[in-house]
Structure 1
Amino acid sequence: MTGTGGDDAVKVQDLATLVRRAARRWPHRRALRFDQHDIDYTFAELDELSDRYGAVLAALGIRYGDRIALVFDNRPEYPLLWLGAAKIGAAVVPVNPRYSVRELTRLLDHADPALVVTCADHLDLVLGSAAGGRRVAVTDAEGGPGVIGMDGVAVAAGRTPDQAVYPETLANIQYTSGTTGHPKGCMLSHGYWTAMVRKYADGFPHLGPDDVLLTAQPFYYLDPQWSLAACLLVGSSLVVLDRFHPTSFWDKARAYQVTYLYCIGMMPTLLLRQPEQPTDREHSLRAVACSGIPKDIHAALEKRFGVPWYEGFGMTETGGDLRVLPDDHDELVGTGCVGRPNPHREARIVDERGHAVPRGGTGELILRGAGMMDGYYRDETATREVFRDGWFHTGDLARMDERGRVYLMGRLKDMARRSGENIALNEVEAVLCSSERVGQAACVPVADDVRGEEVHAFLVARGEPAEATEAVEAAEAAEAALADVIAHASANLAPFKVPRYWSFVAELPLTPSQRVAKEKLRALRVTAYDRTTGEQVRLGAPPAPHGVVTERADA
């Protein structure tokens, strides 16, 4: 299949031009469908309705350079407001509606938006956090005291007021998921988005008007936004699910005749663990893109579902950076390789002094090129830490082979240092997950006065959630399971890498991108088995000022 973005695709450098061009080229073709709400939009309707929202925002006094916070789950208002704000040069601040009042208050205080827009479902959350006279608007309800009803705002018929926007115009302040600390606001320009999606018009997977994409991630996360931008560039259609449901995911893919989708985090593992069905290969998919495909199940995924899975790498800060292409795919299945740099990206592997390491050596992955963030909003220190000498420092350990292909080896910050030995926690997690007793695993470092740090392993027992919970709650079964897991770890890891502390939990806290939120794990106050003493201890927040404070669980 050949993409049909058109020769002028390379000239599209802002979101306003992107949606207007799509409306001209494919006015009556379906652009977007929200499965939960049973709502479709054509490209022409996206243009018209985003014009309406842009005009409403302008009528409310939102101007070029202003910021508006969007507090929605997967509802049509999000993309319409995103594109409407883009047309008038305003930037959106996507917000996770599952934040607590405290978390939302902190984010809004940092972003300081001129307007917070939400729906009736999340109005109480917003009002609970919107202190200091911040203006609030709703899209699906009448206004009330201190709340603007957007449907009642009068605007002149026709297009959004003309406002020139440019590649450097700010489009998003996209807060990171905050896996290891407080979220930071990535400043993403119009040029960031158009550079990210141009590869879909230029090369593999050669998307075009006959393609249907599917996303199960929330729109306040990065992926549905770039998926929609890609569809606007090449004329494909995007189906949006309310969230990821492993039991019905393939049914939706078949029903909508999806040809291309993107998975992240735990999705491939959870999909493979569903009971096999005769319909597993009955679908229209020709490619699946995924970040973080577990190496030990990559071949099994392809064999079961009959479609190639392509690994890639990207960050909120940098967009799409690396990916495996068809020429390398077969050779790289199960290797963990994330591919070569995209045409607009350069990659190097460097040591702690910033010097390039020999091919095959391990160091930090650094990147440069077009389409990166403009920095962290109101955080010059953090911006300087990641941008050094013109290169973005990812914080990922990696190696590059002789053919320029990159393999991730772990996170610089996802390490523990025990008695002078560095421990890559993702390596420990992979070993734990290979145990028949373990469904999911995550490890975090714990401060220790003697060894510097110890490792605390959090385990979710294998099996259906109810069975796992029953197994954990049964003391004898949990003890036997833990003994098996520790024996498995001891047989497959160097002694210094075997965790000291062990806890079974019902589930692991996840970010919107389905990655483990390790900062939340560190804060959990849980009972843990201490392998060194053989006792049950209490670990977790608040952290001790000097090493870890442990208490006997029965104390």
Structure 2
Amino acid sequence: MNLSKQLGVSAQRYHEKPAYIFNDRPTSYAEFDSAVTKFASGLNQLGVSRGDHVALLLGNSPHFLISLYGALRLGATVIPINPIYTPDEIGYIINNGDVKAVIALDLLIPLLEKMEQQIAMVEHVIACETPKGAQAALDVTSLSIYPKLKSFTRLLEQPSPSFKEDTDVQEDDIAVILYTSGTTGKPKGAMLTHKNLYSNAKDTAEYLAMNEDDRIITTLPMFHVFCLTVALNAPLMSGATMIIMPQFSPAEVFEIAKKHRATVFAGVPTMYNFLLQYPEGEPEDLNSFRLCISGGASMPVALLNHFEQKFNVRISEGYGLSEASPVTCFNPLDRPRKPGSIGTSINNVENKIVNPLGVEVSVGEVGELIVRGPNVMKGYYKMPEDTEHTLIDGWLYTGDLARMDDEGYFYIVDRKKDMIIVGGYNVYPREVEEVLYNHTGIVEAAVVGVPDPDLGEAVHCYIVKKDLTLTEEDILEYCQDHLAKYKIPSNIFFLEELPKNTTGKILRRALKKQIGV
């Protein structure tokens, strides 16, 4: 079984039920499944076949859903790309990923035109029509890329009557290549098989008790693995309805939740902070929620508690990474939720904490989190050495420091590379950030380590404050009451906002860049 076949099963079972709602227009499972087959047929007529690589430069929209499942139905490999990446970033992924066809918003055609020489190997550029794009009155016939240009709408309108789904697609075939953010160099393409994605969607859906009565707000970026599994594949597998938001907006989340009686919301901690700080957000707006899901970054306990107290809804924090499709842990629904914990291993996935020699450590001891299961990637595309360093004896080494309690709940301590060593003592940025988030005058905080001639490294912190009268002295005095001396920040910087990526995750590396580290 794979995601494309499962969609066919869902279409038979839930026929007229909405698979998704976009701009208040519902599309049934039957309509969606039919569009997927038509698009797969259109790609096939262009010469795209099983094993070919298709890149998606799309935001949250039906275009993304149909393109993704259409390519998978054909047996092609999908490479989702953040549409706001720079030309260099997009060009690197297209070239490194050996892309044959690009499916992009029509607004991005001028960008791709400028990159025409850089992406010469691309045979087809399929433009997805948007109202704003149509109004741009771009004379595409004058573009050098014009011979490669195709219309998404026309591909859907002209399916081949003889097209049949490729039934030879194997579970170990590569379904999606997800390029990591490249924090330690060039992005690496994690190869996820049909088995990886199907198993993780199925196990996540079961663990979170997703069902046909659920209505999930899908506002996380679809090109990101968190959304791909938790707010897209798992709901479709369960017969649920996605309420698609093109981009995150606190006002629209409250409006959509109330209008459509949404039952599930998935977001990163920053989104929850924005919802909490939104002055017009009322608890009754979210009273249809049965569950909120948090991932993508560790959620400060103070934020979790304040959100739950205000809106009377449970947040289940989990953990995942691109290389694991991505989910490995979630706080269970049938047992106590532990604030600060990423929960327990989901069905069919093993998590373990080991020392530098790969030996499992004792309960409560900090070590590296490693993962094993049907969700773990095949490897990095064209990077055998990186694959060898990350996949060892069937285990995926995550690079995250964690500990496990005596009830099997895991706690992320920090990234190995983010740990700060001050005079020989380990300082984990998250523990300092947790203290800062408990201060009533602070909205957001981030902590990084910087070189120090005397102590090796020093703690620097960046703060967005709610109380404008708050001073550096106030923060230091507060930290002295709550942190050991070596953990107290040596420098405090106040910013209007913290740098974040497109999913809302705070970028510590961007903060380091500001000070030349």
Calculate the TM-score normalised by the size of structure 2.
0.89
2:506 paired residue number: 516
1:55 alignment partner AA = S
Contact 1:458 1:505 in 2 (8 A): yes
1:45 paired residue number: 31
Partner SS, residue 413 of structure 1: helix
Aligned mate of 1:128, from 114, 117, 129: 114
1:326 alignment partner AA = L
1:317 paired residue number: 323
Contact 1:58 1:161 in 2 (8 A): no
Aligned mate of 2:165, from 144, 159, 162: 162
Q: 2 CA distance for matches of 1:231 and 1:160?
A: 27
Contact 1:119 1:138 in 2 (8 A): yes
Return 493-502 or 361-370, whichever deviates more. Answer: 493-502
Q: 2 CA distance for matches of 1:272 and 1:76?
A: 29
State the Cα distance separating 1:204 from its structure 2 match. 4.3
What CA RMSD, in Å, does the superposition of the two structures yield over aligned residues?
2.3
Q: 2 CA distance for matches of 1:18 and 1:437?
A: 49
Return 336-345 or 154-163, whichever deviates more. Answer: 154-163
Aligned-pair identity (%): 29
Q: 1 CA distance for matches of 2:244 and 2:285?
A: 22
Partner SS, residue 15 of structure 2: coil
2:366 paired residue number: 362
1:527 paired residue number: none
Contact 1:437 1:481 in 2 (8 A): no
1:138 alignment partner AA = A
Aligned mate of 2:461, from 451, 457, 463: 457
1:302 aligns with 2:308: yes
The 5-angstrom pairing of residues 135-154 of structure 1 reads 135=123, 136-140=125-129, 144=141, 145=143, 146-147=145-146, 148-150=149-151, 151-152=153-154
Q: 2 CA distance for matches of 1:132 and 1:179?
A: 24
Q: 1 CA distance for matches of 2:192 and 2:489?
A: 39
2:398 paired residue number: 394
1:5 paired residue number: none
Partner SS, residue 208 of structure 2: coil
Partner SS, residue 327 of structure 1: coil
State the Cα distance separating 1:82 from its structure 2 match. 0.5
Partner SS, residue 251 of structure 2: coil
CA offset digits 1:130-186 (Å, max 9, x no partner): 414234331226953313122445844447443121211211111223455543211
2:15 alignment partner AA = P
Q: 2 CA distance for matches of 1:486 and 1:461?
A: 14
Return 292-301 or 416-425, whichever deviates more. Answer: 292-301
Could you say if the C-alpha distance between residues 457 and 277 of structure 1 is closer, same or farther in structure 2, counting changes exceeding 3 Å?
closer
Return 54-63 or 225-234, whichever deviates more. Answer: 225-234
1:443 paired residue number: 447
State the Cα distance separating 1:189 from its structure 2 match. 1.3
Calculate the TM-score normalised by the size of structure 1.
0.83
Unaligned runs of 5+ in 2: none
Could you say if the C-alpha distance between residues 419 and 282 of structure 1 is closer, same or farther in structure 2, counting changes exceeding 3 Å?
closer
1:234 aligns with 2:265: no
Could you say if the C-alpha distance between residues 184 and 295 of structure 1 is closer, same or farther in structure 2, counting changes exceeding 3 Å?
same
Aligned mate of 1:481, from 451, 464, 471: 471
The 5-angstrom pairing of residues 323-472 of structure 1 reads 323-329=330-336, 332=338, 334=339, 336-462=340-466
Q: 1 CA distance for matches of 2:119 and 2:204?
A: 44
2:226 paired residue number: 223
Q: 1 CA distance for matches of 2:204 and 2:462?
A: 39
1:21 aligns with 2:9: yes
CA offset digits 1:293-328 (Å, max 9, x no partner): 321233332232122221221111112211122332
Return 364-373 or 38-47, whichever deviates more. Answer: 38-47
Partner SS, residue 478 of structure 2: helix
Could you say if the C-alpha distance between residues 487 and 388 of structure 1 is closer, same or farther in structure 2, counting changes exceeding 3 Å?
same
Q: 1 CA distance for matches of 2:500 and 2:88?
A: 18
CA offset digits 1:75-133 (Å, max 9, x no partner): 21111010010011111111111112222222223223112221222222333334142
Q: 2 CA distance for matches of 1:490 and 1:62?
A: 62
Contact 1:386 1:392 in 2 (8 A): yes
Contact 1:66 1:113 in 2 (8 A): yes
State the Cα distance separating 1:502 from its structure 2 match. 3.0
Q: 2 CA distance for matches of 1:513 and 1:281?
A: 23
